[in-house]
């Protein structure tokens, strides 16, 4: 039987297949028939999220201090179509004790809070009281901050989280990991603001963006989880790019590859999963100076 199927799927050779009382000989496929199929795009029903993730310790680090979380779901019951997604990237701050612990603790605390306050209420048959999505995200960051202080004292981490509900995405952000919107026309729109010293110097006009990329203090943050000073995260709500992508990544990616390089890789990939693999491979090929984490989300 195994030899039969090996012969059957080796389509360049004639194959005889028993049919009833006789045999039928199939013809080999031509080169034209072996070409990939071109399928016209169709509107997906119900709408959903296609996601890829990628991570690497890099080429110059011994430990992975990044953490990420990705979860997608959909509710379609005839009355509503609700794509839902939670996507988080945290980058433990190098030079801080327990940096790798801080990023993992922050991601877990943030994800748990978002799911308990936004996802489960949507599924409940009861009329549960819940706040706005921006309030959920802000309180989630507070929970993550408290968890870092408790479980990783002396540690620090960035945190960039996106909550997708339907066609809207709410982003919460602290530090210098980034969220991008990637558009088919080549635009790479950064929708977060780096809470770093060099970014502040760029805003003040004291250094250029090119100088910021090689500045000796480019990794110094003035806002991060784990710090004792009180702060408020940046919270914004946007329409999901459609067509296009949401991308969240640590500076091990965006600090190594240019916007043009990242766009070309994403545009040339067949799906978000392969795009993430290629992005990580490219950052490592460029030296991999830091841990690399990336999440790429496409709304279909």
Task: Considering only residues 108 and 3, tell me which one the structure prediction assigns the higher pLDDT.
Answer: 108
Tell how far CA 58 is from the center of its chain.
17
pLDDT tens-digit map of 191-202 = 999 997 776 676
The tokens of 260 are what? 């043009």
CB–CB of 252/290 below 8 Å? yes
pTM equals 0.81
pLDDT in tens, 103-136: 999 999 999 999 999 888 777 756 555 569 999 9
What pLDDT sits at residue 22? 44
pLDDT of 270 reads: 96
Using left for φ > 0, alpha for ψ between -120 and 50, and beta otherwise, residue 237 falls in: beta
Band of pLDDT at residue 80, cut at 50, 70 and 90 = confident
Q: Which of 22-31, 170-179, 228-237, 289-298 has the lowest mean pLDDT?
A: 22-31
| Position 17 pLDDT exceeds 70 | no
* 191: Cβ contacts below 8 Å, ≥ 6 apart: 171, 179, 180, 181, 236, 238
User: CA 108, CA 114: separation in Å to the nearest integer?
Assistant: 10
pLDDT single digits (tens) 33-68: 444 434 344 566 788 899 999 999 999 998 999 999
The pLDDT-based confidence of 142 (bands split at 50, 70, 90) is very high
Binned at pLDDT 50, 70 and 90, residue 13 comes out as very low
Of the two residues 219 and 262, the one the predictor is more confident about is: 262
Taking only Cα atoms into account, the Rg of the chain, rounded to an integer number of angstroms, comes to: 24
**CA dihedral (160, 163, 164, 170) positive or negative:** negative
Two tokens, residue 216: 């000796």
**At 30, is the pLDDT very low, low, confident or very high (cuts 50, 70, 90)?**
low
Average pLDDT, the chain: 83
Which of 71, 163, 51, 69 lies closest to 118 in space, CA to CA?
163
Instruction: Answer yes or no: is pLDDT of 253 > 80.
Output: yes
pLDDT at position 228 is: 80
């Amino acid at each position: 039987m195994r030899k039969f199927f090996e012969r059957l799927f080796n389509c360049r050779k004639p194959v005889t297949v028993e049919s009833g009382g006789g045999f039928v000989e199939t013809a080999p496929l031509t080169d034209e028939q072996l070409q990939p199929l071109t399928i016209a795009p169709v509107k997906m029903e119900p709408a959903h999220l296609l996601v890829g993730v990628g991570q690497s310790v890099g080429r110059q680090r011994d430990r992975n201090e990044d953490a990420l979380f990705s979860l997608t779901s959909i509710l379609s019951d005839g009355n509503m179509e609700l794509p839902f997604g939670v996507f988080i990237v945290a980058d433990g701050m190098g030079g801080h004790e327990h940096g790798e612990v801080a990023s993992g603790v922050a991601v877990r605390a943030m994800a748990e809070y978002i799911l308990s306050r936004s996802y489960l209420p949507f599924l409940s048959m009861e009329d549960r009281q819940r706040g706005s999505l921006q309030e959920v995200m802000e309180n989630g960051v507070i929970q993550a901050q408290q968890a870092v202080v408790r479980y990783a004292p002396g540690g620090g981490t960035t945190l960039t989280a996106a909550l997708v509900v339907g066609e809207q995405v709410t982003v919460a952000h602290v530090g210098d990991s980034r969220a991008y919107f990637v558009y088919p026309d080549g635009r790479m729109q950064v929708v977060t603001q780096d809470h770093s010293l060099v970014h502040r110097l760029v805003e003040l006009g004291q250094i250029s963006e090119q100088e910021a990329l090689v500045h000796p203090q480019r990794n110094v943050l003035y806002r991060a989880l784990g710090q004792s000073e009180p702060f408020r995260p940046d919270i914004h709500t946007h329409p999901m790019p459609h067509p296009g992508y949401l991308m969240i990544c640590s500076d091990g990616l965006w600090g190594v590859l240019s916007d043009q390089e990242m766009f070309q890789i994403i545009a040339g990939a067949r799906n978000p999963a392969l795009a993430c693999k290629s992005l990580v491979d490219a950052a490592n090929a460029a030296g991999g100076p830091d841990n690399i984490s990336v999440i790429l989300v496409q709304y279909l």
